[in-house]
Amino acid sequence: MNILILGGGGREHAMYLKIKNSSLAKNVYISPGNAGINDECRININIEDFDRVSQIVKEYDISLIVVGPEVPLVLGIKDYFKNAMPHLFVFGPDKKSAMLEGSKVFSDQFMKEAGIPAPMASSANNLDRAISIIEDGPLPIVIKADGLAAGKGVSIHHDKKSAITKLEDIFKDNIFGEAGKSVLIQEFLEGEESSLFALLNGKEALILPTARDYKAAYENNQGPNTGGMGSFSPGEALSSSHIQFACENIIKPVLDKFQYTGILYIGLMVDRENPEASKVLEFNCRFGDPETQSILPMIEGDIVPYLLWSCGNNDALIPKIKDDGFYKIPQKTGCALNVVIASNGYPSDYDKGIALNLPDTLPENIHIIHAGTEKISNKIVSNGGRVLNIVGYAKNLEESKNLVYKFIESLKKTSELSDFFYRNDIGSA
Ligand code: AMP
Ligand code: GLY
SS3 readout for 83-112: HHCCCCEEECCCHHHHHHHHCHHHHHHHHH
Q: Is 227 in the pocket of ligand 2 (CB under 6 A)?
A: yes
Residue 183 pLDDT = 98
Q: Which ligand is nearest to the CA of 137?
A: 1
Q: Is 10 in the pocket of ligand 2 (CB under 6 A)?
A: no
Query: Is the CB of residue 246 less than 8 Å from the CB of residue 326?
Result: no
How many helices (H) and strands (E) would you count in the chain? 13, 24
* Ligand 2 centroid from CA 10, angstroms: 11
Residue 348 pLDDT = 93
Minimal CA–CA distance to 333: which of 193, 234, 207, 213? 234
Query: Is the CB of residue 294 less than 8 Å from the CB of residue 391?
Result: yes
Domains of the chain: 2-94 (3.40.50.20), 120-187 (3.30.1490.20), 192-328 (3.30.470.20), 337-421 (3.90.600.10)
Residue 120 pLDDT = 97
* Ligand 2 centroid from CA 228, angstroms: 6
Residue 151 pLDDT = 82
Q: How far apart are CA 295 and CA 290, in angstroms?
A: 9
* Ligand 1 centroid from CA 367, angstroms: 30
Q: How far apart are CA 148 and CA 74, in angstroms?
A: 9
Question: Which atom in ligand 2 lies closest to the alpha carbon of residue 231?
Answer: 1
Query: Is the CB of residue 310 less than 8 Å from the CB of residue 94?
Result: no
Eight-class DSSP state of 365: T
**Ligand 1: which of 154, 212, 265 to mutate, judged by most atoms within 8 Å of the beta carbon?**
154
Going across the sheet that includes 28-32, the strands are 28-32, 2-7, 62-67, 89-91
Residue 302: CB atoms within 10 Å: 18
Which letter, b or e, does each residue of 18-57 get, where b requires 16 or more Cβ atoms within 10 Å of its Cβ? bbeebebbeebbbbbbbbbbeeeebbeeebeebeebbebb
Please report, for residues 14, 348, 356, 373, 381, the alpha-carbon distance to residue 343 in angstroms, rounded to integers and kept in the order given. Answer: 20, 10, 12, 11, 11
Minimal CA–CA distance to 67: which of 287, 368, 274, 373? 287
Q: Are strands 62-67 and 192-201 parallel, antiparallel or unpaired?
A: unpaired
* Ligand 1 centroid from CA 144, angstroms: 9
- The H-assigned helical ranges of 85-225 are 95-102, 104-114, 127-136, 160-171
CA-proximal residue: ligand 2, atom 3 (nearest): 288
CA-proximal residue: ligand 2, atom 4 (nearest): 288
Query: Is the CB of residue 10 less than 8 Å from the CB of residue 18?
Result: no
Per-residue pLDDT of the chain (429 residues; tens, 9 = 90+): 999 999 999 999 999 999 999 999 999 999 999 999 999 999 999 999 999 999 999 999 999 999 999 999 999 999 999 999 999 999 999 999 999 999 999 999 999 999 999 999 999 999 999 999 999 889 999 999 999 998 889 999 999 999 999 999 999 999 999 999 999 999 999 988 899 999 999 999 999 999 999 999 999 999 988 999 999 999 989 999 999 999 999 999 999 999 999 999 999 999 999 999 999 999 999 999 999 999 999 999 999 999 999 999 877 788 888 877 899 999 999 999 999 999 999 999 999 999 999 998 999 999 999 999 999 999 999 999 999 999 999 999 999 999 999 999 999 887 779 999 999 999 998
